[in-house]
Amino acid sequence: MTRRTRLFRFAGIFTLFLIGLLAMGGSAQVALAQTSPIHPTFPLLDENGQNVLDSGAPVSTMATCGSCHDTEFIADHSFHVTVGLDQFTAPGAIEGSHPWEMSSGMFGGWDATAYRYLTPPGDQEFDLGVPDWIKTYGLRHVGGGPAMETPDGTPLTELTVTAGDPWTHSYDSETGELMAWDWSKSGVEEMNCFLCHFPQPNNQARKDALESGEFQWANTATLLGTGIVSHEGDEWVWNPDAFQEDGELDADHVTIQDPTPENCGACHGAVHMSTDPLTPAEITPDDWHTIRTGQIFSGQRLKDTGLNLENKQDLDRSLDVHAERNVECSDCHFAVNNPVYYQEPLETRPGHLLFDPRRLDFGEYLLRPDHNFARGQTAQHAVKPEYQDAMRRCESCHDAESTHDWLPYTELHMDTLSCESCHIPKLYAPAMQLDDWTVITPDGQANVTFRGVEGDVNDIHSLITGYEPVLLEQTEVTGESRLTPFNLITTYYWVHEDPERPVRVEDLKAVYLNEAGDDYAPEIITAFDANGDGTVDSAELRLDSDEKVQMIKDRLVGLGLTNPQIRGEVRPYNVNHNVAHGDYATKDCQVCHSQDSLISRSFVLAAYRPGGVDPTIKGDNNVKFTGDMAWDDETNTLTFTPATTESGLYLPGHNHVDWVGWIGLFSLLATLAFVVIHGGLRLYEAGKHAHDPHKEPEMRTVYMYTFYERAWHWLQAITILMLLATGIVIHRPDTFGNLDFGIVVPAHNVLAAILLINAVFAVFYHFASGEIRQYLPEPRGYFRQALMQVDYYMRGIFRGDPHPFAKTPEHKLNPLQQATYFMILNVLLPLQILTGIAMWSAMRWPNVMRSLGGLTWLAPFHTLIAWFFASFVILHVYLTTTGHTPLEGIKAMTVGWEEVEVEGREGTAVADSSAAGAGSVGA
Amino acid sequence: MTRPRVPWIVGAIVTVLVIAIPLYFFLPKNSSKAEEAWANVPTHPVHTDHKGLFTDYTLESGSDVTNACLDCHPDAAQEVMKTSHWTWENGPYELEGRDELVYGGKKHLINNFCIGITDNEPPCTACHIGYGWEDESFDFTQEENVDCLVCHDNSGAYIKKNAGYPADSVDLLAVAESVGNPTRENCGSCHFRGGGGDAVKHGDLDNSLLHPSDELDVHMGKYDFSCTDCHRTEHHDIAGKSISVSMDDENQVYCTDCHNEKPHDDERLNDHTATVACQTCHIPEFARKEATKTEWLWSQAGQDLPQNPHEYLKIKGKFVYEKNVVPTYAWYSGTADRYILGDKIDPTVPTVMNMPHGGIDDPEAKIFPFKVHNADQVYDTVYNYLLQPKTFGEGGYWSDFDWDKANRLGSEAVGMEYSGEYGFAPTQMYWPTTHMVAPAKDALQCESCHTKDDAPGRLDWEALGYQGDPMYYGGREQQLGVAPVSTEEQK
């Protein structure tokens, strides 16, 4: 019987079974809940296809599962299996990576935090042979791939031992000798289906089997504890009671299931799905995602956990809203051909199709499920790049527009920020900060510093403060860049030789430890033990002086290494989990729109630099590091400070252009100075020439301003003042009130709309009524008249001279006013309106704004004009006091009637009736 | 030229309005749901200070005080006498499966705590809102028997003794002068102590509500509610009732009296409100401060065992008290069935005294949290019905420890046959859990009920009538075609 027909026959039987179940009523489903509701019973087969009950041999998952599922296909379509084997190459051939890396996967690639290095073929300086790799990294490898074959596809069991070949040798760190590896004795580790598809796989027993070199038993060991197999002494014994008479596994023991978060968490990070409090003990060094970023997958509320969190009683949010709401790992990271989840990408789907119903049916899928799982677009894991962004991202499930109507400029925010930027405001577990492999502890580990915790990370009494991830720009698969949160881990390590490669752990041990390897060498203790207590603690275990660096360098050279150097590198680690519900996301505008903006907040990289070396940014990823790395001698920290302006971001309230501020301030202060000096002189002179009746002009009362003109003026005046007030809050929220952007920004926009509408009506009015002529200077004699007005302001006004031009309802404006208003109303105001509209339009049409230069250009320009407006307002108000009496001008603009000097009187320039003869209300 | 026709102030006002009106309409409004709810909370009139108003009275008994009250509040006693606080009876009800109408209330019903009041009155009627209900001869028409003070005393010094009389130590003048709006202490003096002690009967009402933390009761703790903020009262008729003594839902109190029926910002949560009562998520556990009685074995009474009011008393039997109890969840439409004296029982299975009405196919029913009180209590093994023994007083079980005599006297009092053969039958009683609402931050989460894989959640979907977790199988509308009715419509 072929696999396919067996599977289909099963599907038929299963359907009948389901119908029977339904007929029996719902209760039968409960009885089945513990076992697999769908998977039939099956025999456990060894690699020869014999029932393990008969042969006593280790179970072969490829044969057992392969009797129905196409396990060859699955192994070939799984980056969890290949982990880089399929792109294995010579050292140095992987672009952008370290010169000693041979792939970008776990097999052949090199990760500074994991450190151990697979020896390349032909290299006699062994760190890890392939058997050692399985013992070391196999613990987090699902088997198959490099644990079964070489990059050219030769089964490991068929290899012949050649001298120094890493595939057939293991390095014995005790003796420092290479040992030939007998693959026929150890067997190989097949792809381990049980690890992900059993509810409680025994990963520890599997690891023990791998570490002891019993590779072929690793998959069997995974079943330890299920009652199917037991480990007695060195023997693995299959339990006949767990099997039916026909040799198939008893239905009670068939608990095959979809992978749960716990399955994924076994290798990827801390997962806690029960209602019992999450305890610190559940976070182990093997939880890489948790250790590296602080991510924990759990729906538990933080305050209900058993973690020693700062301000815990107030932490109402759950660790991860998706976990809380029953979204599991495989809901986003699904098998890409799973017919439930499969959705053709928008790029290839015809535009008229919302959903293409054609897909694998379940039988076909169960035969050949593609185990290349959909995944996001992280800075790590370059293996199988074609699956980057295959998974559903936030936007695939969430209609963010509908829930962010409270957020001004939604689209602009979404274009600039990933969802995670606001929805993962903080991580609540310690995360690696500095991983210092320039030194080594007696148990063979680096000296690691964590962020987000006060004190020793291994002490459950240490206070977990958590940390706010740094926002960096990441180029997504679509080509767009958005800010998204990261942890940055700095690693330091020794390299040697040329081309470089990392110094082996064995060599580090030889340098730092005594011969027994259980403590530091006496010379090391003498050199490093700063407090003289006879031991080297983790605060002392650092290369913080030239002498220490030289000492270690000498000792490395003494081992025969050439040219040892300290290298430091910073790597970004994406933070995508631990998503907070909107209630707990960053919503306060001032978090970013303020001086101390989140997007430019310094992120501590390290509290010391081994050997004083500045680390380099690891650039083989899609993250842009725009900003500055700097060592601060005062705080003794190495920090990275993002500089988002370099990538074209301008955040109102955070960014400002200095020269705009200086020019604006100068204009404002100069105006003020003029007003103070001029006004002071006027007061002084007024005292000297106290009331000279000869100079008292003859007065008459005229209806100067119509109701509409006054209403227009004051509406404009008030809106401009309020625009200046709200504008300055938006520009410098820290200095001016720190008011909520959510109110101030819309208020500014509404006021601007009123100003604009008012201006449109006014333009119409002025044209329709002909009043526009007030603003039009008479070309002939304009300069002479203007000079007369200047002369008046400079001299005549102090003497109490009459105004050179009488102000009449027909000629309200003097030549200077005409010039000024022309500038204000025809240049500044339109410019301000246009730049304002351009910035406002970003709310709906962000591309329009971008094509106009973006906020980087528009916002400073808008600010500059606002300074000029502010200056104008001051001057304007001051000059209103130059009328017949100081308050006459304001009174006229309020009630319409004004007392003005009678025209044509002696001393008043006689202008012909068509010339501008207006009077006093100043520019 | 004439002076302008429009005074400038008009222009100023117009200008300001032109700016203010668009700002008002276009600026985002922060109208929180909590504020909306506040609009529905009643305000209480300031109570008149009664100091010095009793100088012309001699207040030697409770009735003296009542008479004094009635001089100024002539309708008060008549109003009180219409309520079940006075009558201890309600109904009559038509119950499904019965020909005759039945009455509710403590006067008629038995429960599975101290069982029944008939012929046992004095200790029970210490909580009656009157003076002198010592036996069946009590005159329910005497206005002066109404106890005004138990609800209106604001001095905290008023204590009632058996049959409802004021304790001898009470300074009636001081108490009378202190009268004011009913406080939590007034209501709590009886309702927190149901069953004869603090927290015994209700898992959600006890003395911890006098000074609750924000977490224990968000209304009374964080917002300092009094009972009457929700149990609104008109003419001394106080809203609210429980299926421990009532069978209907007339004049009931609902969360939606103040809160919007779709109170969450999250649509997914709002989808629940037609099927899940607010209490289900917002009262994750009951007896969160004081342990409450969850089991009472009368059959163990009468032994000379070490006594402890929370474990064993010779007169009452054996108890179990529990704290932080996850409620029992059941469909509940607001009404309940009722065990009436004389109903036949099957002594092999627990008899439910007040089974809540409702089921998955009842569109008006919602999933509701209950405290279930389990007991065994005396029944007639020949007639197969529960008995109401005489416990208090002469010949009562509490003095003679003779069940036979207690059964005989009790049966005579309620007018039932007693065969002389008795045993103990298991019974259950449902107590709706509706007080001690936790703050939203402590409400249940999705995964509390909706679990994947094998983890058991709070709700047993199949027991509730679902084919499976509605998160995956769809709600009752999809599973059974039952369209739930919203609370608003139910009213």
Q: Do B8 and A896 touch (CB under 8 A)?
A: yes
Mean pLDDT over residues A14-43, rounded?
Answer: 55
Average pLDDT over residues A288-297: 95
- Inspect the interface and report whether the beta carbons of B453 and A324 lie closer than 8 Å: no
Is A715 in CB contact (< 8 Å) with chain B?
A: yes
Residue with tokens 């973690």: A307
Mean confidence (pLDDT) of chain B: 92
Strand partners, B297: B318, B376
Q: Residue range B129-154: average pLDDT?
A: 96
Residue B46, chain A, CB below 8 Å: the answer is no
CB contact at 8 A, A788 and A919: no
Chain A residues with CB-CB distance to B16 below 8 A? 718
Please state, in angstroms and rounded to a whole number, the distance separating the CA atoms of residues A867 and A662.
Answer: 10
Q: What is the pLDDT of residue A822?
A: 78
A238 near A226, Cβ under 8 Å? no
Q: Which residues of A265-276 are buried (b: 16+ CB within 10 A; e: fewer)?
A: bbbbbbbbbeee
Q: In terms of DSSP bridges, do strands A565-574 and A616-617 run parallel, antiparallel, or are they unpaired?
A: parallel
Element (H, E) at A471: strand A470-475
Q: What is the pLDDT of residue B375?
A: 97
Mutate to test the interface with A, among B441, B460, B480 (most CBs of A within 10 A): B441
User: What residue in B sits closest to A327 (Cα-Cα)?
Assistant: B452
Whether residue A325 and residue B3 make contact (CB cut-off 8 A), yes or no, is no
**pLDDT at residue A33 in the model:** 36
Q: How confident is the model at residue B34 (pLDDT cuts 50, 70, 90)?
A: low
Domains and CATH numbers, chain A: 79-190 (no CATH), 261-377 (no CATH), 423-647 (no CATH), 695-901 (1.20.950.20)
Looking at residue A422, its pLDDT comes to 96
Q: What is the pTM of this model?
A: 0.86
Min Cα separation B25/chain A (Å): 10
Query: Which residue from A326, A711, A897 is facing B471, i.e. has the nearest CB?
Result: A326
Q: What residues of chain B lie within 8 A of the CB of A33, using their CB?
A: 454
CA distance A338 to A567: 44
ipTM of the complex model: 0.84
How far apart are alpha carbons A730 and A603 in whole angstroms?
A: 26
Provide the chain A residues 780-819 that lie in CB contact (below 8 A) with chain B: none
What is the percentage of chain A residues whose pLDDT exceeds 90? 54
Please give the Cα distance from B256 to A664 (Å, whole number). 57
pLDDT digits (tens, 9 = 90+) for B326-377: 999 999 999 999 999 999 999 999 999 999 999 999 999 999 999 999 999 9
Residue with tokens 């009972």: B227
CA distances from A325 to A299, B268, B461 (A): 7, 10, 18
| pLDDT, position A913 | 34
Secondary structure element (H or E) that encloses residue A266, with its range: helix A261-268
The chain-wide mean pLDDT, for chain A, equals 86
Q: Between A and B, how many residue pairs show a Cβ–Cβ distance under 8 A?
A: 92
* Inter-residue long-range contacts of A720-727, CB under 8 Å, 24+ positions, other chains counted: A720/A755, A720/A869, A720/A873, A721/A873, A722/A747, A722/A751, A722/B19, A723/A748, A723/A751, A723/A752, A723/A755, A723/A866, A724/A866, A724/A869, A724/A870, A724/A873, A726/A751, A727/A863, A727/A866
Encode pLDDT of A800-847 as tens digits.
Answer: 777 777 677 777 777 777 777 877 888 888 899 999 998 888 877 877
**Mean pLDDT within B294-301:** 97
- Under the banding of pLDDT at 50, 70 and 90, the label for residue A905 is very low
Give residue A697's pLDDT. Answer: 63
Q: Could you give the CA distance from residue A589 to residue A669 in angstroms, rounded to a whole number? A: 31
**Distance, CA of B322 to CA of B290 (rounded, Å):** 8
* Angstrom distances, CA of residue A408 to CA of A401, A654, A839, B71, B408: 11, 17, 12, 65, 79
How many other β-carbons are positioned within 10 Å of the β-carbon of residue B386? 27
Cβ of residue A767 closer than 8 Å to a chain B Cβ: no
A896 chain-B contacts, CB cut-off 8 A: 4, 8
pLDDT bin (cut points 50, 70, 90) of residue A918 is: very low
Residue A844: predicted pLDDT? 76
Task: Return the pLDDT at A512.
Answer: 96
B324/A contact by beta carbon, under 8 A: no
Residues 307-326 of A with CB under 8 A from B: 316, 318, 323-326
CB contact (8 A) between residue A29 and residue B28:
no
Instruction: Select from B445, B449, B472 the residue whose CB has the most chain A CBs within 10 Å, as the one to mutate to test that interface.
Output: B445
What was the pLDDT predicted at B183? 96
Percent above pLDDT 70 for chain B: 96
Q: Over the stretch A354-369, which tens digit does the pLDDT of each residue have?
A: 888 888 999 999 999 9
> How many angstroms separate the CA of residue B429 from the nearest CA in chain A?
26
pLDDT tens by residue, A612-634: 999 998 866 788 888 999 999 89
Question: Above 50 in pLDDT, residue B277?
Answer: yes
- State the pLDDT confidence band at A907, using cuts at 50, 70 and 90: very low
Q: Within the 234-273 window of chain A, which residues sit less than 8 Å (CB to CB) from chain B?
A: 257, 260, 273
Average pLDDT over residues A73-90: 93
Q: Which two tokens stand for residue B40?
A: 């529905």
Among A406, A711, A743, the residue with its CB nearest the CB of B14 is A711
Tokens representing A760 are: 């449109």
Residues forming beta bridges with residue A335, ordered by sequence position: A373
Instruction: Note whether A678 and A795 are within 8 A (CB).
Output: no
Q: Where are the domains of chain B?
A: 62-490
Cis peptide before B327 (omega within 30 of 0): no
Does the beta carbon of B454 lie under 8 angstroms from any beta carbon of chain A? yes
Q: What is the pLDDT of residue A148?
A: 95
Distance of alpha carbon A895 from the chain centroid:
59
Contact call for residues B292 and B206 (beta carbons, < 8 A): yes
Cα of A40 vs its chain's centroid, Å:
45
Token pair in block for residue A761: 């009506």
Report yes or no: A368 and A70 within 8 Å, Cβ to Cβ: yes
Confidence at residue B6, expressed as pLDDT on a 0 to 100 scale: 67
What residues of A are in contact with residue B27 (Cβ under 8 Å)?
743, 746-747, 750
Q: Length of chain A in residues, anyone?
A: 923
Q: What is the pLDDT of residue B486?
A: 62
Tens of pLDDT, residue by residue over B105-120, are 999 999 999 999 999 9
pLDDT on residue A401? 84
Cβ atoms within 10 Å, residue A442: 15
Is residue A23 very low, low, confident or very high in pLDDT (cuts 50, 70, 90)?
very low
pLDDT at B490 over 80: no
Contact B454 A34 (CB under 8 A): yes
Report pLDDT for B33: 67
Identify the band that residue A411 occupies on the pLDDT scale cut at 50, 70 and 90: confident
Is the per-residue pLDDT at A579 higher than 90? yes
* Whether the Cβ atoms of residue A176 and residue A149 lie closer than 8 Å to each other: no
Average pLDDT estimate for B367-388: 97
pLDDT (0 to 100) of residue A909:
40
Output b/e per residue, B443-479; b: 16+ Cβ within 10 A. bbbbbbbbbbeeeebbbebeeeebbebbbeeebbeeb
Q: For residue range A580-589, what is the model confidence (pLDDT) as tens digits? A: 999 999 998 8
- Say whether B32 sits in a helix, a strand or coil: coil
Q: Which of A710, A722, A757, A890 to mutate to test the interface with B (most CBs of B within 10 A)?
A: A710
| A461: its two tokens | 């009494």
Classify residue B423 as exposed, middle or buried by CB count within 10 Å of its CB (0-12, 13-18, 19+).
middle
* pLDDT tens-place string over residues A680-707: 888 887 777 655 555 566 777 777 778 8
Q: Which residues in chain A are contacts of B15 at CB distance < 8 A?
A: 711, 714-715, 718
Taking an 8 Å cut-off on Cβ atoms, the answer to whether A753 and B15 are in contact is: no
- Both tokens of A452, joined, read 């987000």
Q: Average pLDDT of B225-238?
A: 95
> Residue A908: which pLDDT band, with cuts at 50, 70 and 90?
very low
CA dist., res. A69 & res. A108, Å (int): 29
Q: What is the pLDDT of residue B103?
A: 94
Asked if residue B202 lies in contact with residue B392, where contact means CB atoms within 8 angstroms, the answer is: no
Q: What is the pLDDT of residue A238?
A: 96
Longest dimension (CA), chain B: 115
Q: Which of the four pLDDT bands, split at 50, 70 and 90, describes residue A910?
A: very low
The strand ranges marked E within A550-619 are: 565-574, 603-606, 616-617
- Under an 8 A CB cutoff, do B447 and A326 touch? yes
Q: Which chain B positions have a beta carbon within 8 Å of A753's beta carbon? A: 22
* Burial environment of residue A831 by CB neighbours within 10 A (0 to 12, 13 to 18, 19 or more): middle
Asked whether the beta carbons of residue A199 and residue B23 sit closer than 8 angstroms, the reply is: no
pLDDT tens digit string along A335-393?
Answer: 989 998 888 777 788 888 888 888 899 999 999 999 998 888 877 766 676 666 666 77
